[in-house]
Chains A and B, each alone.
Chain A
């Protein structure tokens, strides 16, 4: 595996993002959501800055996830339809080089998206709080981009792939709360159906990253997270990316083009 083809593929991916007007879309969304946040701030009778910041940052986080998953899925799908993937793989480039090139390119795109959002949030919150938030958002987007690649390799259809990505994301964001309900006082642990459901939930929780701990709007309002929280997020991201890269490469190598 050589570095040069990886960098070339990554560069083409970044160029594709610019040609698809992804940056323009992010800027347009930023302006629209900032307008909405200002309106919401006017409605609040107290803590208007905190209310604006909380709602704006959550909306931007969901937007970033949505736009990343859409861009990655549509880009990979177009490549399949135009047979450019077949063309690339017919060259003396290993499948792993192609995979890492695409992954590097998509990661670059997510960093740009996260940085643009972070720059705009600096209007409302100091850099000491925005910095960790942006870092965490970038980690979250790396995972989403990688899951989108894996889902498209597996299903080879936009509808199925995007539904799976959003399902994964919602589950990863809520699995902690679902687990609490499953083991709460209202659940009867002696009932077989309850034990089965709890077992399924616990198994899912083992397989999913706890995105619930990522990119909290509370960091922007009340103060940056502890260093250990950030280390935990970076650790979880590294481990999950390793898993996803393994799954993606496994799927790519077993496919016949």
Chain B
């Protein structure tokens, strides 16, 4: 310390003081909401990933998920441009096709906004991407069935999604309740005869093996046959 010349010490103190004064005089940062940018082409993203598309996909997913919380400002999901959100989710799924994260975000975060048009847009995305890998992505379409039925009150849409699960998600790991959803949607739509036929066929097919489930479905079929064309109370 003693060996340091005084001018050097003075310049050090002067520099430090000036830096602090400079920063104090700067205007405070203002929170400005940034719009969601368009997603780049998938080829560009793959090059940018430096051979680690899975990691880049997951980083992008976290970034997209946190986009509503920008520094000092919070943007509701419904104010986001859903066309761009779908584009980003699509790009992330292309980078990390085995990740379920984008599907969960689409069906559980972005499709829950109180804006029917945006909900439909997101449910359609879930439906389209479900078709790419039905045996692993069926849970998100099953949630879409529930949303279409109860939030949008659009039974034909719920039926379309439920039928897609029944016809495409045929893997052994897919539970039978998911494969049966379309029967109960039909029942809610008043299509009792069709529901009866499908339920009977399901019981006859032998794919349901759990005794409790067989008992439940049989009682349901008996109720349908007893009531004839009168719709049953909804099973919510």
Interface residues of A (CB under 8 A from B): 40, 43-47, 50-51, 54-55, 57-58, 61-62, 170, 173-174, 176-178, 180-181, 184, 211-214, 216-218, 221-222
Contacts and interface: CB of A to CB of B under 8 A. Distances in A.
B43 interface: yes
9 contacts: A44-B101, A47-B58, A51-B101, A54-B58, A54-B96, A176-B51, A181-B43, A214-B51, A216-B52
Contacts of B65: 43, 45
Contacts of B51: 173-174, 176-177, 211-214, 216
B47 A45 contact: no
B51 to A, nearest CB: 4
Nearest to B55: A58
Contacts of B62: 40, 43-44, 51
Contact of A177 (B47, B59, B66, B105): B47
B227 interface: no
Contacts of A51: 58, 61-62, 101
Contact of B52 (A43, A45, A58, A184): A58
A211 B52 CA distance: 11
A170 B50 contact: yes
A44 B52 CA distance: 19
Interface residues of B, number: 23
Nearest to A44: B62
Contacts of B155: none
A176 B51 CA distance: 9
A174 to B, nearest CB: 5
Interface string B32-53: 0000000000011011001110
Interface in B55-77: 55, 58-59, 61-62, 65-66
Given A43-B66, A47-B100, A50-B99, A217 B43 contact: no
A221 B54 contact: yes
Contacts of A176: 51
7 nearest A-B residue pairs (beta carbon): A58-B55, A212-B51, A173-B51, A177-B46, A173-B50, A58-B52, A177-B47
Nearest to A181: B43
A57 B105 CA distance: 24
A45 B59 CA distance: 13
Contacts of B98: 218, 221-222
Contacts of B50: 62, 170, 173-174
Contacts of B55: 54-55, 57-58, 217
Given A47-B101, A51-B101, A55-B59, A217 B52 contact: yes
A165 to B, nearest CB: 15
B101 A46 contact: yes
Nearest to A213: B51
Given A43-B62, A216-B51, A216-B52, 16 more contacts: A43-B65, A45-B109, A51-B58, A51-B61, A54-B96, A61-B52, A62-B50, A170-B50, A173-B50, A174-B50, A177-B46, A184-B43, A211-B51, A213-B51, A214-B51, A216-B54
Given A45-B65, A174-B47, A218 B101 contact: no
Given A44-B101, A45-B104, A50 B58 contact: yes
A218 B53 CA distance: 9
Contacts of B96: 54
A170 B43 CA distance: 16
A55 B43 contact: no
A211 to B, nearest CB: 6
A174 B44 CA distance: 10
A221 B52 CA distance: 13
B198 to A, nearest CB: 33
A44 to B, nearest CB: 6
A177 B47 CA distance: 6
B77 to A, nearest CB: 13
Contacts of B44: 181
Interface string B111-141: 0000000000000000000000000000000
